[in-house]
């Protein structure tokens, strides 16, 4: 059985919603957590410093612990020392790992433009984007602390937002209205909504390959993962099964519908996806079915492992960008698990 290299305990009654390794500072791992399933109570942003302890073991110490007035649903690194939390009261709050003493818990920036829960975050250079239960996506300039734009068009919760790359003018939003929308931020008004991907299930999660910004993968409420090439609205990339498709034009927005599943990944909704692990083929998925999966999409049978280390919903999962084969998952069982995929699957050492 593939066991975690380290299992971290969240404070009692706090459930894990999302994890994020720092993209450039080795060893920093953040988690957004909430009390009472995120329905009421406080939120938590916790940062660990993870170190090698020898013989394949890891150790960790808490570097920062921030309690928020309402639930914390997502965490995103927005600088060398800064992280953002998407909160249940509609706020997006930014904190520093390094502040100590009287300023240790100081909120450096507090954006409060969402009318309902803020639940999704992404960053590109100096722009932070947030998605919400109010069906909108807000964009903020991190230098000025000003909201610069609001994207509207979804009719349900925006569960995920992603920039295509670090300097991108393209952002994708995934929603419970069974769609993912591609927005071109170089366009004004409704013209920015250039492409809408329609699926048969609500879209709970999304990921894009680090070096292939033309491809998106969507995790559905039906437990399936679907892949699209956003350059070709009438075609769908095949992963493991044949697919049919249909398309139509509506108000100059390209759309298409998927008739068959791509990957039967989980028994319940796919709540989190991440592609990485030093390549385009390695993918992680986390699900309401209490499992996480590791995939090698270059194989005919892509599943490498189904991980049943958590005892509740696995809500968040993500690769380390530095330790290429290290990843972490968080769950409503109040734990965060860290894994070393190199040791588990016999991968060659990859920039470790």
Measured CA to CA, the distance from residue 253 to residue 271 in angstroms comes to 27
pLDDT, tens digit, for every residue of 260-286? 347 889 999 999 999 986 666 899 999
Assign 198 a pLDDT band (cuts: 50, 70, 90). Answer: confident
| pLDDT: which is higher, 62 or 250 | 62
**Is the Cβ–Cβ distance between 74 and 85 less than 8 Å?**
yes
**Is the Cβ–Cβ distance between 121 and 84 less than 8 Å?**
yes
Measured CA to CA, the distance from residue 173 to residue 113 in angstroms comes to 18
Please enumerate in sequence order all residues whose Cβ is within 8 A of that of 101, keeping only pairs 6 or more positions apart, or say none. none
DSSP SS3 for 40: coil
pLDDT, tens digit, for every residue of 290-324? 999 999 888 888 899 999 999 999 999 999 999 98
**Is the Cβ–Cβ distance between 288 and 268 less than 8 Å?**
yes
pLDDT at 185 over 60: yes
pLDDT, tens digit, for every residue of 335-349? 999 998 776 665 554
Question: To 5 degrees, how large is the angle CA 225–CA 273–CA 72?
Answer: 130
DSSP SS3 for 129: strand
Measured CA to CA, the distance from residue 90 to residue 82 in angstroms comes to 19
Measured CA to CA, the distance from residue 95 to residue 84 in angstroms comes to 6
DSSP SS3 for 258: strand
Question: Sign of the CA dihedral 123, 319, 326, 33?
Answer: positive
Measured CA to CA, the distance from residue 150 to residue 115 in angstroms comes to 13
| pLDDT: which is higher, 231 or 308 | 308
Give the residue-averaged pLDDT of 72-85: 96
Distances (CA, A) of 151 to 24, 26, 132, 171, 196: 29, 34, 11, 10, 14
Please enumerate in sequence order all residues whose Cβ is within 8 A of that of 251, keeping only pairs 6 or more positions apart, or say none. none
pLDDT at 14: 98
Mean pLDDT lowest for which of 30-39, 93-102, 105-114, 139-148?
93-102
| Class of residue 239 by CB neighbours under 10 A (exposed 0-12, middle 13-18, buried 19+) | middle
Dihedrals phi, psi of 36, to nearest 5 degrees = 50, 50
Q: Write out the H or E segment, with its range, that includes residue 342.
A: helix 341-345
pTM of whole model > 0.95?
A: no
pLDDT at 255 over 60: no
**Is the Cβ–Cβ distance between 260 and 241 less than 8 Å?**
yes
**Is the Cβ–Cβ distance between 314 and 271 less than 8 Å?**
yes
Please enumerate in sequence order all residues whose Cβ is within 8 A of that of 92, keeping only pairs 6 or more positions apart, or say none. 84, 85, 86, 110, 111, 112, 114, 118, 121, 128, 130, 138, 140
DSSP SS3 for 261: coil
């Amino acid at each position: 059985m593939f066991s975690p290299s380290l299992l971290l305990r969240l404070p009692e009654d706090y459930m894990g919603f999302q994890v994020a390794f720092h993209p450039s500072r080795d060893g920093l791992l953040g988690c957004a957590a909430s009390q009472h399933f995120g329905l009421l109570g406080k939120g938590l942003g916790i940062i660990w410093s993870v170190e090698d302890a020898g013989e394949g073991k890891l150790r960790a110490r808490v570097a920062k612990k921030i309690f928020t007035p309402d639930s914390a649903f997502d965490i995103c690194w927005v600088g060398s020392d800064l992280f953002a939390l998407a909160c249940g009261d509609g706020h997006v709050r930014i904190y520093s790992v390094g502040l100590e003493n009287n300023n240790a818990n100081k909120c450096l920036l507090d954006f409060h433009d969402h009318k309902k829960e803020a639940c999704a975050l992404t960053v590109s250079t100096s722009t932070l984007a947030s998605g919400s239960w109010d069906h909108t996506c807000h964009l903020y300039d991190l230098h000025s602390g000003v909201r610069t734009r609001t994207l509207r068009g979804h009719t349900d919760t925006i569960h995920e937002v992603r920039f295509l790359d670090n300097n991108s003018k393209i952002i994708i939003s995934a929603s419970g209205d069974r769609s993912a929308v591609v927005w071109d931020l170089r366009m004004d008004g409704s013209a920015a909504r250039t492409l809408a991907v329609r699926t048969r299930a609500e879209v709970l999660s999304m990921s894009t390959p680090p070096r292939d910004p033309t491809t998106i993968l969507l995790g559905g409420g039906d437990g399936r993962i679907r892949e699209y090439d956003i350059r070709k609205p009438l075609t769908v990339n095949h992963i493991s099964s044949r697919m049919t498709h249909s398309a139509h034009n509506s108000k100059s927005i390209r759309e298409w519908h998927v008739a068959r599943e791509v990957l039967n990944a989980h028994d319940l909704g796919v709540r989190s996806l991440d592609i990485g692990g030093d390549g385009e083929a390695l993918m992680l998925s986390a699900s309401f079915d209490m499992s996480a999966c590791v995939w090698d999409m270059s194989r005919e049978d892509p599943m490498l492992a189904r991980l049943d280390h958590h005892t509740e919903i696995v809500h968040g999962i993500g690769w380390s960008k530095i330790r290429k084969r290290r990843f972490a998952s968080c769950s409503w069982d109040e734990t965060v698990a860290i894994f070393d995929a190199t040791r588990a699957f016999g991968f060659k050492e990859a920039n470790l």
